[in-house]
Amino acid sequence: MLIAITLITFILATSLVFYIQYALMRKRNPLAERLSDLEKSNPFKPYGESVLRSQRETGVEKVFEPLSRLIPKSPKEVGATAQKIMRAGYRNKSAVTIFFGIKMALIIVALLILFLSGSVRSMPSENLVIALVTCVGVGYILPDFILSTRVSARQERIQLALADTLDLLVVCVEAGLGLDQAILKTSEELRVTHPDICDELNLVNLELRAGKPRKEALRNLAERTGVEDINGLVSMLVQTDKFGTSIAQSLRVHSDALRTKRRQRAEEKAHKVSVKLVFPLVFLIFPAMFVVILGPGVIKIIKQLFPAMGGQ
């Protein structure tokens, strides 16, 4: 058993070293190098290039690319993962490859830790199978959990920033700017306080400048963010553009409705606090209070009763 464990550990460590050496020392395509240099030297880069530019392939990407090929994945799973990564704010072309590579790397690291810990030697075969399945499951599920957490946090930031964004859009439109120019101005002014929604608005502006219809660019905004309030805003703007009604008035009405909805959500969370505090109160605070309040009395009662019972 010890010889088998040593052999498996040696094979895993050797394979990992060869993967890293191959990924770091392999040569890139000269055509890809030339295109990357031309893109870097482009003088007509738009504002917000930090979000949109195609980053040059790094050593990290080279390491994770061969590892990502070891994980079986369907096109549907790749598409869903790419959408979640985009909603988390990562728009690098190799983000999906790096994500699956991280999964495989975590699985390998978990297995190495399990074999190097020495607990496998005295572990029954049933427990060994359970430990192996646990390592594979943790390595596969943990990146998905972290990614979902980042997506939820970014969507919450966008949702909280939407009211201020709509107010500035109303001011810009009522000042005489068109909707496209108002979106551009808003993305520039709120970049320090609300960078996430400004990046999305900047993408909308770039799509409009590239020639996409406004309806398609706005629907892409709703698809990228996945925020319910953004979907309502996009539907309102599309209907306004379709029927030719006043954009400023529609934005002002939608902004008031959005602030009312945000206040209602805050009130809902405040009302849920009392219910959520029941479990900490019952299982954590009340037992400590009972010990502090009733403890001395219980001790005195025991001291008074037990001598009398002993005397009988």
Q: Around Cβ 210, how many Cβ atoms within 10 Å?
A: 9
d(CA 154, CA 161): 11
Q: Around Cβ 290, how many Cβ atoms within 10 Å?
A: 11
Average pLDDT in the chain: 79
pTM more than 0.85: no
3-state secondary structure at position 106: helix
**Residue 20 pLDDT greater than 60, yes or no:** yes
Instruction: Return the pLDDT at 149.
Output: 92
Least confident of 23-32, 85-94, 179-188, 280-289: 23-32
Least confident of 57-66, 110-119, 130-139: 57-66
Helices and strands, counts by H and E, the chain: 14, 0
Question: What domains can you pick out in the chain, each with its CATH number?
Answer: 2-24+58-122 (no CATH), 155-271 (1.20.81)
pLDDT tens by residue, 221-245: 888 888 888 888 888 888 888 887 8
**Residue 287 pLDDT greater than 80, yes or no:** yes
**Residue 55 pLDDT greater than 50, yes or no:** no
State what percent of residues in the chain have pLDDT above 70. 79
d(CA 200, CA 158): 9
40 CB-contact burial (10 Å; exposed 0-12 / middle 13-18 / buried 19+): exposed
Who has greater pLDDT, 203 or 71?
203
d(CA 71, CA 251): 47
d(CA 186, CA 48): 13
d(CA 262, CA 88): 22
pLDDT tens by residue, 175-227: 888 888 888 888 888 888 888 888 888 888 888 888 888 888 889 888 888 88
